[in-house]
Amino acid sequence: MADAAIARESTTAPMLAVRGLNAWYGESHILHGVDFDVARGEVVTLLGRNGAGKTTTLKSIMGIVPRREGSIVFEGRETIRMSSNRIAQSGIAWCPEERGIFASLDVEENLMLPPVVGEGGLPVAQIFELFPNLRERLHSPGTKLSGGEQQMLAIGRILRTGARLLLLDEPTEGLAPVIVQQIGRTIAKLKERGFTILLVEQNFRFAATVADRHYVMEHGRIIDMIPNEALGASMGKLHDYLGV
* Residue 30 contacts ligand ADP per CB under 6 A: yes
User: Residue 69: which of 20, 35, 15, 17 has the closest Cα?
Assistant: 20
Q: Which of 5, 6, 103, 176 binds other proteins (CB under 8 A)?
A: 103
**Rounded least distance, CB 79 to other proteins, Å:** 13
The partner residues of 95 in beta bridges, in order of sequence, read 168
Q: Which of 32, 33, 51, 98 binds ligand ADP (CB under 6 A)?
A: 51
First to last CA, the chain: 48
d(CA 54, CA 152): 21
* Residue 115 contacts other proteins per CB under 8 A: yes
3-class SS at 226? Answer: strand
Q: Which is nearer to ligand ADP, 9 or 97 (CB)?
A: 97
* Residue 56 contacts ligand ADP per CB under 6 A: yes
Q: Which is nearer to ligand ADP, 42 or 169 (CB)?
A: 169
Q: How many residues bind ligand ADP (CB under 6 A)?
A: 11
Q: How far are the Cα atoms of 110, 147, 164, 172, 197 from residue 191, in angstroms, in the given order?
A: 24, 24, 11, 17, 8
d(CA 115, CA 94): 13
By a kind-dependent CB cut-off of 5 to 8 A, residue 138 interacts, out of Mg ion, ligand ADP, other proteins, none, with: none
Q: How many residues bind other proteins (CB under 8 A)?
A: 26
The partner residues of 72 in beta bridges, in order of sequence, read 18
H/E segment holding residue 151: helix 147-159
**Rounded least distance, CB 47 to Mg ion, Å:** 12
Q: Which is nearer to ligand ADP, 47 or 226 (CB)?
A: 47
d(CA 83, CA 76): 17
Q: Which of 45, 55, 79, 196 binds Mg ion (CB under 5 A)?
A: 55
d(CA 145, CA 149): 6
Beta strands per DSSP E along 177-244: 196-201, 213-218, 221-227
How many H-runs (helices) and E-runs (strands) does the chain carry?
10, 10
Q: Which is nearer to other proteins, 70 or 96 (CB)?
A: 96
**Rounded least distance, CB 214 to other proteins, Å:** 25
* Residue 56 contacts Mg ion per CB under 5 A: no
* Residue 65 contacts ligand ADP per CB under 6 A: no
Q: Which is nearer to Mg ion, 49 or 135 (CB)?
A: 49
Which residues bind to other proteins, rule: CB under 8 A? 62-64, 83-89, 93-94, 96, 100, 102-105, 109, 112-115, 117, 158, 161
Which residues bind to Mg ion, rule: CB under 5 A? 55
Which residues bind to ligand ADP, rule: CB under 6 A? 25, 28, 30, 48, 50-56
